[in-house]
Amino acid sequence: MKKIIVASLLLLLLVSCSIPAQPTTTVVTASPTLVMTVTQTPSPAPPTITPSAQPAEEWHGIPIMPGASAGEGDEEGYVFTIQATPAQVQAYYQLELGKLGWQFVSQEQGDSSIVLLFTNNASAMLTISVIAKGNQALVLLTK
């Protein structure tokens, strides 16, 4: 599970901080007797992480969004997929965690990702990372 969490965070970092992948073009100019050579090297695609187990209803007292299609977790984190936008995930967790005494602290937003930070009265912190891919979202909960 630690590999899934690390890979999810790496994917989040790649998605939120990278520019769209463009092929790299190398042009070699030649003397009049040689032919010009052009070599293209495509940029590698980021890894895809998809949880495979049936999702839980909650993780350490934190609700898992209804409609989650798969999920996996351990003591350090829980990751699940759902058909939702990052904005829908944010709205759900702000409402549901508010009912449980969690306060929304901040957010960082990229083109297709969002990271939400919550705290509670016991000074615990919860991070929710959301990465959108098409009409699905990969959601990572970490305390």
User: DSSP per residue over the chain, as a string?
Assistant: -HHHHHHHHHHHHHHHHPPPP--EEEEE---TTS--EEEEEPPPPPP-----SPPPSEETTEEPPTT--EEEE-SSEEEEEES--HHHHHHHHHHHHHHTT-EEEEEEE-SSEEEEEEE-TT--EEEEEEEEETTEEEEEEE-
Collapsed DSSP state (helix, strand, coil) of residue 6: helix
Q: What is the per-residue pLDDT for 25?
A: 52
Mean pLDDT of 99-125: 94
pLDDT in tens, 52-111: 678 889 999 999 999 999 899 999 999 999 999 999 999 999 999 999 999 999 999 988
Please state the rounded mean pLDDT for residues 124-131: 96
pLDDT of residue 104: 96
Walk me through the domains of the chain, giving residue ranges and CATH numbers. Answer: 2-142 (3.30.310)
Q: What is the pLDDT of residue 81?
A: 96
pLDDT at 44 over 50: no
What pLDDT, on a 0 to 100 scale, did the predictor assign at position 3?
46
**Cα–Cα distance between 18 and 16 in angstroms, integer?**
6
Q: What would the pLDDT profile of 4-38 be if each residue is shown by its tens digit?
A: 444 444 444 334 444 444 454 545 445 455 444 45
pLDDT of res. 42: 54
Distance, CA of 110 to CA of 13 (rounded, Å): 10
Please tell me the predicted confidence (pLDDT) of residue 75. 93
What pLDDT does residue 9 have?
A: 44
CB 59 within 8 A of CB 141: yes
Write the CA distances from 27 to 21, 34, 36, 38, 41, integer angstroms.
Answer: 19, 13, 8, 5, 12
Per-residue pLDDT at 43: 46
Tokens matching residue 8: 């999810």
